Amino acid sequence: MALEEQCSAPPRWRSISLTHVEFPEDDLTGQVLAYISLLPIAILVGFVTLIVFKRELHTISFFGGLILNEGVNWLLKHILREPRPCAGAHTTLHTEYGMPSSHSQLIWFFVVYFFLFLYLRMHQTNNARCVDLLWRHILSIILLGMALSVSYSRVYLLYHTWSQVFYGGVAGSTIGIIWFFITQEVLTPLFPKIAAWPISEYFLVRDTSLIPNILWFEYTVTRSEARNRQRKLGTKLQ
């Protein structure tokens, strides 16, 4: 349906609790897309959780790039001041400006940065086995599907126009590329020094950039330590 027709006969909207993302009433597709549009929020929550429990410098840098990306989006919106489509269609909006789409900009920043991390950063540290390449390709397809779905949801739910979503994606992708290379070329060489700062040691901030497979490393170290403690405990009980 054309945008003009949707605006002339606006549907009744329902809101997802707490988030205030609205979708047309009795529209299952709209409801599914409304939940999909919450993926950027889930990403931000996931980053905060990782930082609290892992305290790893590259994760902190990645999250810093997301925050910078959001700041650029806010600045662009207030410079361009382009209104959203169907003014007044939604009752709860953080800002009346829609160019560029913040959801689109954030998800494309995340996806493009992750692409570069998978194929450039991990290529330098892991052996390019068939299984490694296969799961990277599968994960890349899933991430691409996420980005396209979030972008489409913003248009379908009448929060943005196609141009606002497109330029949001372009801005997010560009900032993602720039921030990846800043992290790789400028920040990563500084991580060992930052991790050695007294305040970093106090908060248990660590640098794992030189460890090829952090999941395997943590698994083997944890398993070895658990076996050593079990052996000591068994000796004491004898």
CB 39 within 8 A of CB 107: yes
Instruction: Convert the pLDDT of each residue in 142-190 to its tens digit.
Output: 999 999 999 999 888 888 889 999 999 999 999 999 999 999 999 989 9
- Cβ atoms within 10 A of the Cβ of 172, count? 31
- pLDDT the model gives residue 20: 66
Please give the pLDDT value at position 1: 46
Mean pLDDT, the chain, rounded, equals 82
Specify the higher pLDDT residue, 4 or 216: 216
Q: Is 51 exposed, middle or buried (0-12, 13-18, 19+ CB in 10 A)?
A: middle
Confidence of residue 2 (pLDDT cuts 50, 70, 90): very low
Q: pTM value?
A: 0.81
Give the tens place of pLDDT for each residue, 6-63. Answer: 665 556 666 554 456 777 777 788 888 888 888 888 998 999 998 998 888 998 999 9
Cα separation, 238 vs 229, whole angstroms: 14
Q: What is the pLDDT of residue 38?
A: 87
C-beta atoms surrounding 189 within 10 Å:
10
pLDDT digits (tens, 9 = 90+) for 66-93: 999 999 999 999 898 888 887 666 666 6
- pLDDT tens digits, one per residue of 101-134: 889 999 999 999 998 988 887 654 445 567 677 7
Yes or no: say if 175 and 154 are a contact pair by the CB < 8 Å rule.
Answer: no
pLDDT for 98 equals: 80
